[in-house]
Chains A and B, each alone.
Chain A
Amino acid sequence: MKVNCDINVHHLTRVEGHGNIKIKIHDGIVQEATWEVVETPRFFEALLVGKKCDNAPWICGRICGICSIGHTLASIRAVENAFGMKPTAQTTKLRLLLKHMETLQSHILHLYFLAAPDFLNVGSVFPLIKSHPDVVGRAAGLKKLANDMCDCVGGRRLHPTTTVVGGFTMLPDRKELARFRDLLGASVPGLVATAELFKTFHLPDFARETEFISLKGDEDYPFIGGDLISTDGVIKKESDYRAMTNEYLVPQSTSKWSKLSREAFSVGALARVNNNFRFLHPAAQGIATDFGLTPVNHNPYMNNIAQLVECVHVVYDSIRLIDELLGSPWQEPRQAVVPKSGVGVAAVEVPRGILYHCYEFNETGHITKCDCIIPTSQNHANIQYDLTALATQFAAQGFQDRELELLAEMLVRAYDPCISCSVH
């Protein structure tokens, strides 16, 4: 039977921000398959102009309500790079620990609250409170641990308060860190149970050959700064990020789009795992292998599994970081900041992929030019090309409206898009 369908999803649910899916198929031929982004822009790149350097992390953290810590850290790194500052070893470890806990809270939020309901045939996590209390309890417990640690290190889980250019306004309580170290160790069974749950889910059988971009690891699984790499073999310096992103505008989106070697590319947990698999903690590699996730994997739905793999990695790596931090006495938390004119670029891996902030300063340390390139904006074009391929493949297999609509929604959700962030 030839498929005919007319799918129109206005303001897709269980994603951050506002996007629409439109698919029209007539007699088995895909007439239209569109991923539309209708979010209102906030113009961060304009409103930052004229602001002093210390404003940047405070204001730019507000680009995103889910990965505010990642934006704050990217903003701080861009300022520090512009002023030629190097963070101390202690600051570097504390920032990475904070980053890890944001990754854990964001991935758990996505896996359980946004993605899992599709696999359990419910509209949200709310009905699961009654039907699957153990699952919801586990999700809430893991998310709480990650968020409590963000409070401990960053002062606040959302829009952090202790993180400043030069280091930290104050340091976490050492007894608290030791307590969290134990809680992290005790959280591993919860992650194993999460993996068991996801093994019961059927991931759609779909793949489209894709270029994946992330930070390039040298000795470890990279999150903050360093070279940039793509699975098509492109390698660039952090400061040369524009050669990696090539932003352009399209009529169907208030967010910019990006491309590199092909018509589109992908960033995020799957891109990181694809590029840096060998640097993952062995326990995380084990989970990946259990799911058949080895580089280079081209199934976008696998991003869910890549997020799960990263949860395991960041928990083990956070235990290591706390051990190292507690192994030596606290040093001075904050360096003095001496503004100067120049340009600073930062590339930071946030939950949804690689994020770039770039600022130009005048000699008094005021911003004269600002550029932020968001992971989800880099993914929009790839979502569009995936959506077209998905509609074509599943229409040929005879899938009907409802099934196709759900698969399309699940595809977009698999990218865990942060749409308001992408438009900023």
Chain B
Amino acid sequence: MSAAAARPKTFLGVPVYKPKVAFFELTSCEGCQLQILNNEGTLLDFLDLVEVVKFREGMTGGNDDYEIAFVEGSVSRGDEVERLKTIRNNAKVLVALGSCACFGGVNQLKNRFPLDWVKKEVYGDHPIDSERVRPLEDIVKVDLKIYGCPIKKEEVERIVTDLAIGNDIVYPKYPVCMECKANNNICLFDVGEPCLGPITRAGCNAWCPNSRAGCWGCRGPAEECNVGQLISIMEQHGFSKDTIIDRLECFGGFAVYADQLRQGLKS
């Protein structure tokens, strides 16, 4: 990367600072980092925008002199807490990359059960170290969140460009439902498919509903969302509480609402 680093990068004729970035993963599938390598059409431009100093999945060597740390995954073991604190100390900007880092992701579904039962179900009596799943911000200060399971590469590119040129990072305030309508999709409620589009933060361009798969809320709540109202609408469409809970609790962004609904079921 040294030759590329020497070449001045400009934006509208102004030299642009090339930040040193590092990628890390905790409890995860490493899919979000893979997404970074996935937009092959713009990958080389993207790599020219930053200086990658650490990316274990893709490179040997590197160093810990980074300014922006992208951390994928949730925290579920003591050594991860320590790793995360070290990364926080080294980084100027810590970015939570993907649903697991932002909300716990699918991993937090295990928090529905007592930890001892979870361990026994998979490992029997074999000793295994694991804790309740937590998002990054339960441990350290998180400066930026990149939502989604998986993350959308175009959004990462936009956010990293804004970081590099010093722009404010702006997220859409409206829900996925707006994007879906703008794409002229048929409403999935009308074809019997549950969907969290009306309450989920936009920015994915209605990725799943475009394929006629209802939204599972992987990006978490939109800035203003009326979960109670959505639940009544879904009930009017004949969806069971069970189905609604499945959607609300899947990625962790709506875990509080899923808990409330489950409590309601019990009472």
Contacts and interface: CB of A to CB of B under 8 A. Distances in A.
A127 B59 CA distance: 10
A421 B30 CA distance: 9
B128 A41 contact: yes
B130 A158 contact: no
A159 B149 contact: yes
Interface in A148-175: 155-159, 161-162, 164, 169-170
Interface string B83-116: 0000000000000000000000111011011000
Given A11-B56, A162-B211, A162-B212, A17 B30 contact: yes
Interface string B199-232: 0000000011011110010000000000000000
B8 to A, nearest CB: 17
Contacts of B250: 55, 58-59
Nearest to A125: B58
B29 A420 contact: yes
Interface string A47-67: 101111001001100111110
B65 interface: no
A308 to B, nearest CB: 19
A113 B58 contact: yes
A114 B33 CA distance: 14
B27 interface: yes
Contacts of B123: 41, 249
B113 A13 contact: no
B190 interface: no
A117 B59 CA distance: 9
Interface in B17-60: 25-35, 37-38, 40-41, 43-44, 47, 52, 55-60
Given A14-B59, A65-B34, A126-B47, A59 B106 contact: yes
A59 B43 contact: no
Contact of A164 (B28, B126, B213): B213
Contact of B47 (A66, A109, A129): A129
A350 to B, nearest CB: 13
B242 interface: yes
A16 B43 CA distance: 20
Nearest to A161: B211
Nearest to B34: A65
Interface in A55-82: 55, 58-59, 62-66, 68
Interface string A391-422: 00000000000000000000000000000110
Contacts of B122: 41, 43, 45-46
B30 A65 contact: yes
Which 4 residue pairs spanning A and B have beta carbons closest together? Answer: A65-B31, A124-B59, A155-B211, A144-B40
A94 to B, nearest CB: 13
A170 B211 contact: yes
A46 B110 contact: yes
A114 to B, nearest CB: 8
Contacts of A164: 213
A256 to B, nearest CB: 9
Given A52-B243, A158-B31, A170-B211, A59 B109 contact: yes
Contacts of B62: 123
Nearest to B125: A249
A157 B41 CA distance: 14
A124 B61 CA distance: 9
A14 B60 contact: yes
B76 A124 contact: no
Interface string A20-64: 000000000000000000001111011101111001001100111
Nearest to A63: B29
Interface of A: 11, 13-17, 40-43, 45-47, 49-52, 55, 58-59, 62-66, 68, 109, 113-114, 117, 123-127, 129-130, 136, 140-141, 143-144, 147, 155-159, 161-162, 164, 169-170, 249, 254, 420-421
Interface of B: 1, 3-4, 25-35, 37-38, 40-41, 43-44, 47, 52, 55-62, 76-77, 80, 105-107, 109-110, 112-113, 117-119, 121-124, 126, 128, 130, 149-150, 207-208, 210-213, 216, 242-243, 246, 250
A40 B110 contact: no
Contact of A46 (B1, B34, B121, B150): B121
A40 B105 contact: no
Given A42-B106, A52-B246, A66-B31, 15 more contacts: A13-B57, A42-B110, A43-B121, A46-B113, A47-B109, A52-B242, A63-B29, A65-B32, A124-B58, A124-B60, A129-B44, A144-B41, A156-B150, A157-B38, A162-B213
A169 B210 CA distance: 10
A96 to B, nearest CB: 19
Contact of A65 (B28, B77, B212): B28
B80 A40 contact: yes
Contact of A14 (B1, B41, B58, B110): B58
A251 B222 CA distance: 45
A323 B242 CA distance: 43
Given A45-B122, A420-B30, A13 B211 contact: no
A198 to B, nearest CB: 20
Contacts of A170: 211-212
Contact of B77 (A40, A130, A159): A40
B84 to A, nearest CB: 12
Nearest to A143: B40
Nearest to A60: B106
Contacts of A109: 34, 37
Contacts of B32: 65
Given A11-B56, A124-B59, A161-B208, A42 B150 contact: no
A49 B117 CA distance: 11
B40 A159 contact: no
A254 B128 contact: yes
Nearest to B214: A169
B40 A141 contact: yes
A16 B1 CA distance: 23
A12 to B, nearest CB: 8
Nearest to B148: A159
A55 B130 CA distance: 24
Contacts of A130: 3-4
A126 B59 contact: yes
